[in-house]
Amino acid sequence: MATAPTSRFITAGTGDPTQPRAKGPRLSAHLPRVILYALLTLFCIYYLLPLYVMVANSLKPLSEITAGGMMALPDAWTLAPWQSAWSTAQIGVEATGLRPYFINSLVMVIPAVAISTILGALNGYVLTKWHFRGATLIFGLLLFGCFIPFQMVLIPMARMLGLMGLSGTVPGLIFVHLVYGIGFSTLYFRNYYAAFPTELVRAAQIDGAGFFRIFWRILLPSSGPIAVVCIIWQFTNIWNDFLFGASFADFDSQPMTVALNNLVNSSTGVKEYNVHFAGALMAAAPTLLVYIVAGRFFVRGLMAGSVKG
């Protein structure tokens, strides 16, 4: 049987392995992604450039900085600026370094974050699972407290701290941040618990579980995502706060941010930029560490409970 002659011409796009592939369409398809990655890389470099300047200059002698080598890597690597900022730098009239003020910030931020998170969880639990008259009004007042500017509460808060005997102390700063943080923590947990099945709470009540047993055994163990959000938010705000620390603390109870400002302003003669950069990195390290460790849970926790059902 005679076979039909094979055609000499092969239509483009039939997948013949002997023919070269056209590179134009593939290149044009990937061009937007290449441009996007290039722009993102430029933005990333621009955003991280200040961090590079701080790290590089905190590890070099002051002579290299004053010679105009701020953007260059250190020729002589040294940790002396870090040691000076931590223990021997002059802050105000004393050469105490940032160490005692770093401890003040830790002593302030840990209980303030822990207590405000627990109280916010309790408030969210009560406002969503234990309905009572005036619950909406109470939540509205707590929500209104989140948007009151710091400057409006300085004089009333100073008066209250004086009456309580907490003026100029670390417990006084804990109280201030606790009061100001309850509104935010209540908002987070209230929205999260609104999507929690009420039937589980009712079933626990039928089985004889009380108020706190339901909270500790049912709601709190399932509150991990929103608790991480609340902790990160509260930790960042309290650690980075300057206004309350400058207004309500004395020299011995100042937090890290106030001490860092005093360190920069107390330098006389030649500014020790390498020591200042090291101190700024010390002040930023805890919040940076928190975001590195738990940052991936932040957005996940924000989205948890955003859709009911």
Exposed / middle / buried, residue 264 (Cβ in 10 Å: 0-12, 13-18, 19+): middle
Residue 10 pLDDT > 70: no
Least confident of 63-72, 214-223, 300-309: 300-309
pLDDT at 84 over 60: yes
Rounded to the nearest 10 degrees, how much is the dihedral formed by the CA atoms of 41, 42, 47, 48? 60
- Over residues 145-169, the mean pLDDT reads 89
For the segment 208-234, what is each residue's pLDDT rounded down to a tens digit? 888 889 889 888 888 888 998 899 999
The pLDDT, as a whole number, for residue 49 is 92
Average of per-residue pLDDT across 186-207: 88
| Domain map (residue ranges) of the chain | 29-78, 99-303
If one compares 204 and 91, the residue with the highest pLDDT of the two is: 204
Q: What is the mean pLDDT of residues 35-62?
A: 92
pLDDT, tens only, 248-290: 998 889 999 999 998 888 766 678 889 999 999 999 999 988 8
Place of tokens 């047993």: 213
pTM of the entire structure?
A: 0.81
Who's near 97: CB < 8 A, 6+ residues apart? 84, 85, 86, 87, 88, 89, 91
Class of domain 99-303: mainly alpha
Per-residue pLDDT at 18: 55
